[in-house]
Amino acid sequence: MEAFLVSAGVVALAEIGDKTQILALVLAARFKRPVPILLGIALASLLNHGIAAFAGTWIGAFLTAERLGWLIGLSFLGVAVWALLPEKAEKEEAPRGARFGVLISTALSMFFAEMGDRTQIATVALGAQLASFVPVVLGTTSGMVLANLPAVLLGHLAAERIGLKFIRGIAAAVFAVLGAWVLYGAFVKS
C-alpha cells in the first residue's frame, strides 16, 4: 500500500503544470466530454508508466542501495529544476477525435506526450526504489488521473486564476525537499 500511495503522490505532484496537464485542458476544451478524456488519460498512463516502472524495477535490481539512493535523490532534484522550466509553447492542436473517438484520441495524445516526461522519469525512479511493479504502476496512473481531473473538469479557469508559474514553483519546492531528504538518507548510509 505504501508503494501505491508514494507513487500516486509523487506523480500527482510532478504532473502539476506539466505539458500533459495542459494537453488535458486543451482536450477538455475541445471535446467537452470529461469521462472519456479521463479514461483516455488512465489508459495512456497505465501503458506508459507500466513500461517506465518495468525499466525502473530492472535498473534497481542491478544497483546497490547506496547508489540507488544517490540516483533517486539526484533525479528528484533534477525534476525540481525541471518543474521550474516552462514547457514549450503549447501550439499543438488537439486531435480532431472524429476518426478515433474521444477516448482513443486522448489516449494516443497523452501516451506520446508522456514519453520522456518528468512523470515518466519519476516512475522509472519509483520502480527502481520501491521494486513493487503493480503498486507503482497503479499508483502513478492514479496520480496522473487525480492531477488531471481538475484540468479536465475546470478547463482554463484553474490556470487563469492560480497561475502556472506559482504552481510550478510549489511543485519544484516539493521535489527539492524530497531530493534533499533522499540524498541525506543516502549520505547517512554511506
- Residue 98 is predicted with a pLDDT of 46
Higher per-residue confidence, 189 vs 134: 134
CA distances from 18 to 51, 57, 89, 138 (A): 20, 25, 12, 20
Q: What tens digit of pLDDT does each residue of 74-124 get?
A: 877 876 776 676 655 434 444 444 456 889 988 988 888 888 778 888 888
Give the whole-angstrom CA distance, residue 103 versus residue 109.
10
Sign, Cα dihedral of 130, 131, 132, 137: positive
- Per-residue confidence (pLDDT) for residue 92, from 0 to 100: 44
Residue at grid coordinates 498512463: 45
Q: Coil, strand or helix: which one is 83?
A: helix
Q: Which 8-state DSSP code applies to residue 30?
A: H
Higher-confidence residue of 135 and 178: namely 135
- CA distances from residue 146 to 10, 30, 42, 119, 164 in whole angstroms, order as listed: 12, 20, 10, 13, 18
Tell me, what's the pLDDT at 83?
A: 63
Q: Which residue has the higher pLDDT, 19 or 181?
A: 181
Specify the pLDDT at position 159: 46
Q: Helices (H) and strands (E) in the chain — how many of each?
A: 9, 0
More confident residue, 74 or 184: 184
Q: What pLDDT was estimated at residue 38?
A: 94
Segment 112-137 shows an average pLDDT of 86
Does residue 178 carry a pLDDT above 50?
yes
Please tell me the predicted confidence (pLDDT) of residue 91: 40
Residue pLDDT, tens place only, 34-77: 889 999 999 999 999 999 999 888 877 777 767 767 877 787 78
